[in-house]
Amino acid sequence: MTWQGLELVAWGIPWTLAVTAGAFLLGAALGVPLCAMHVSRSRVLHGLAVALIVALRSIPPIVWLFLLYFGVGSGYLKVGAVQAAVVALGLITAANMAEIYRGALRSIHPGQWDAAQALGLPVRSELVDVIVPQVFRVTLPSAATYIIGLLKDSAIASTIGVAEITYLANFLSRKQFNESLTIFAFAGMLYILISLPLAALARLADGRLRARVAQ
Amino acid sequence: MVRQAGAETIVKVSGLGKFFGAHKVLDGVDFGMGVGEVLAIIGPSGSGKSTLLRCLNQLEPHSEGVIDICGSRIAADAPLSRRDLNELRRRAGMVFQSFNLFPHMSVLRNVSLPQERVLGRKRAEADERSRALLDRVGLGAKADQYPARCSGGQQQRIAIARALALDPKIMLFDEPTSALDPEIGLEVLAVMQELAEGGMTMIVVTHEMHFAETVSDRVLLMAEGKILEEGPSVEVMRNPKTPRAQRFLQAVMNR
């Protein structure tokens, strides 16, 4: 494998990161209202959230991607490949993050709500000052695990022509098919190299937060 | 000790009932108390003591009857708006069995945050008040630690300081020492006794019979969601009239 070959595949890193980060940010944001709907007292909202989460999680990511890119994108709206990948993975992430938030919410001791209410804190403060920071701490390790999973799932964006790591590796291996093994091994190594600092960062943040509370 | 109590009514409960599903946990509860009084609520587990206390500040909305507390009137069919509720809760401080300090905030923040959010105090002003209260409960040195680094007894005293920081008219204690070693519980009881002597109006749900007898002015003895006996502490504790109350007191006093 030539230096140019390495360089070409490495050019996929920004797109891999963009799809992963875009999908995660979208999902982390959309997961909040979805979780709120799920724990809502309204049966309609709750039912809607359950249906959405089931649909988003049971259909394979690649089917969602094709649905958005070839289905919606060809007929009704003009959807670019990167947008389609971010939205498809983002929606699935929203469903998973909603469940992660819900689990974290349930892990908060009911006494925390009692105390916030008994002190007469306004609803906004009850959530922003008391509940959300605790939910965030509980969520952090699961969210980090999920991002690393998402990083790998971003490879399916190659199927619709997003020029990320897997797409470029595939492209190169077609031209130099006798070097496919090295090319894909290199692609795999890039994923590892991105995952490692992510995991380390998550551990560091988690450790910091714990150390502060246990001071 | 005897206080000049009952001059002005601060709590009046009439016909209070509470259902959990089909199960009636409070049934026809009536009582009143005056400013400066210390009322102990005792009785076997599951008798509705804690539920009664939680109805007073509406952590549990009641199902029947009327509660007048600190100038708010709450009828079962006319619950308060969140704004009115928060106003009531500012005047009625509560201390829980499980302390319920906010674990992600320093001790100082735990006491200062509610003052800032509820009373609109400035940070510096709130911190000054917090430090004074923490000193008062003997924990000035813990201000910058996190709750996890404090013992149960210390956490409960911090929780008391947090509630006091909002200048409540009445303090509601929900089994404040039940989660503590008997020895550690004493330091919390000492703070409560000092509060009582300072004239604070208090309702204390408790299993601490000595505290009920010596610190409180009056005792309510509850069983099966009803008030069985009510009267001056020593009288209720030493000469219960009903067989059920006699049985309960026999069991808890002679151990």
Query: What span, in angstroms and rounded, lies between the C-alpha atoms of B73 and B152?
Result: 35
Question: B169 with B57: CB under 8 angstroms?
Answer: no
Contact B117 A121 (CB under 8 A): yes
**A114/B100 Cβ within 8 A:** yes
The single-letter code of the amino acid at A39 is V
- pLDDT, residue B7, reads 67
pLDDT of B6 higher than 50: no
* B145–A215 C-beta distance less than 8 A: yes
pLDDT bin (cut points 50, 70, 90) of residue A2 is confident
Q: Which domains does chain B have, with CATH numbers?
A: 9-253 (3.40.50.300)
How far does the CA of residue B85 sit from the closest CA of chain A (Å)?
A: 7
How do residues A76-116 score in pLDDT, each as one tens digit?
777 889 999 999 999 999 999 999 999 999 999 999 999 99
- How far apart are alpha carbons B205 and B177 in whole angstroms? 10
* CB within 8 Å: B148 and A213: yes
Position B38 scores a pLDDT of: 95
Determine the residue of chain A that is closest to B90 in CA distance. Answer: A120
Mean pLDDT, residues B53-72:
94
Of B85, B118, B146, the CB nearest to A212: B146
Q: Chain A residues with CB inside 8 Å of B98's CB? A: 109, 111
Chain B CB contacts of A213 below 8 Å = 103-104, 146, 148
**Is beta strand B170-174 parallel, antiparallel or unpaired with respect to B9-20?**
unpaired
**What pLDDT shows up at residue A71?**
84
If you average pLDDT over residues B158-162, what whole number do you get? Answer: 97
Q: Using a pLDDT cut of 70, give the percent of chain B over it.
A: 97
In chain B, the percentage of residues whose pLDDT exceeds 90 is 85
DSSP state of A77: S
Contact (CB<8Å) B90/A118? no
When CB atoms are compared, the residue of B96, B114, B145 closest to A114 is B96
Q: B3 and B36 in contact (C-beta within 8 Å)?
A: yes
Q: What is the sign of the dihedral through the CA atoms of A45, A46, A51 and A55?
A: positive
Instruction: Give residue B173's pLDDT.
Output: 97
**Cα→Cα distances B10→B5, B20, B35, Å:** 11, 27, 6
Q: Which residues of B touch A123 (CB under 8 A)?
A: 82
Q: Does position B242 have pLDDT exceeding 80, yes or no? A: yes
* Nearest CA distance, A31 vs chain B (angstrom): 23
A148-184 pLDDT, tens digit each:
999 999 999 999 989 999 999 999 999 888 888 999 9
Residues 165-204 of A with CB under 8 A from B: none
Domain ranges of chain A: 3-213
- Measured from the Cβ of residue B124, the count of other Cβ atoms closer than 10 Å reads 9
Name which of A198-212, B135-149, B186-200 the model is least confident about: A198-212
Q: How far is CA A151 from CA A138, A157, A199, B184, in A?
A: 21, 11, 12, 51
* Arithmetic mean of pLDDT, B192-196: 94
pLDDT of residue B146: 93
CB contact under 8 A, B86 and A120: yes
Beta strands at B92-95 and B170-174: parallel, antiparallel or unpaired: parallel
Which residue, among A109, A112, A113, A119, would best test binding to B if mutated, counting the most B CBs under 10 Å from its CB?
Answer: A119
**CB contact set of B182 (below 8 Å; sequence gap of 6+):** none
Other CB atoms within 10 A of residue A177 CB = 9
Q: Does A130 touch chain B (CB under 8 A)?
A: yes
- Tell me the CA distances in angstroms from B169 to A194, B7, B36, B88, one per residue in order: 58, 15, 9, 10
DSSP type of residue B119: I
Q: Which of A121, A123, A214 sits opposite B114 (nearest CB)?
A: A121
Q: Is A125 on the interface with B (CB under 8 A)?
A: yes
Give the tens place of pLDDT for each residue, A17-42.
999 999 999 999 999 999 999 999 99
Whether residue B229 has pLDDT greater than 90: yes
How large a percentage of chain A has pLDDT more than 90?
A: 78
Chain A interface includes B88 (CB < 8 A): yes
Task: Kindly provide the ipTM of the predicted complex, given to two decimals.
Answer: 0.91
For residue A214, what pLDDT is reported?
A: 61
Instruction: List the alpha helices (DSSP H) in chain A.
Output: 3-10, 13-38, 43-58, 61-66, 73-75, 81-107, 110-118, 123-125, 132-153, 165-175, 180-213
Average pLDDT, chain B: 92
Q: Which residues in A lie closer than 8 A to residue B50 (C-beta atoms)?
A: none
Fold of A3-213: MetI-like fold (1.10.3720)
Checking if the pLDDT of A49 tops 90, the result is yes
A128 touches chain B (CB under 8 A): no
Q: Give the count of Cβ contacts less than 8 A between chain A and B.
A: 73
- Give the residue carrying structure tokens 């098919």: A177
pLDDT band at B83 (very low <50, low <70, confident <90, very high): confident
For residue A38, give how far its alpha carbon lies from the nearest alpha carbon of chain B (Å). Answer: 23
Residue B1: per-residue pLDDT? 42
Supply angle C-alpha B235, B241, B245, rounded to 5. Answer: 90
Distance CA B117, CA A145 (A): 35
Alpha helices (H) in chain B, listed in sequence order: 49-56, 82-91, 107-114, 123-136, 152-164, 182-197, 209-214, 233-238, 243-253
- Measured between beta carbons, the chain B residues lying within 8 angstroms of A111 are 96, 98-100
Chain A contact for B119 (CB, 8 A cutoff): no
On the question of pLDDT at B2 being above 50, the answer is no
CB-CB under 8 Å, B82 with A215: no
What's the rounded Cα separation, in Å, for the pair B252 and B233? 15
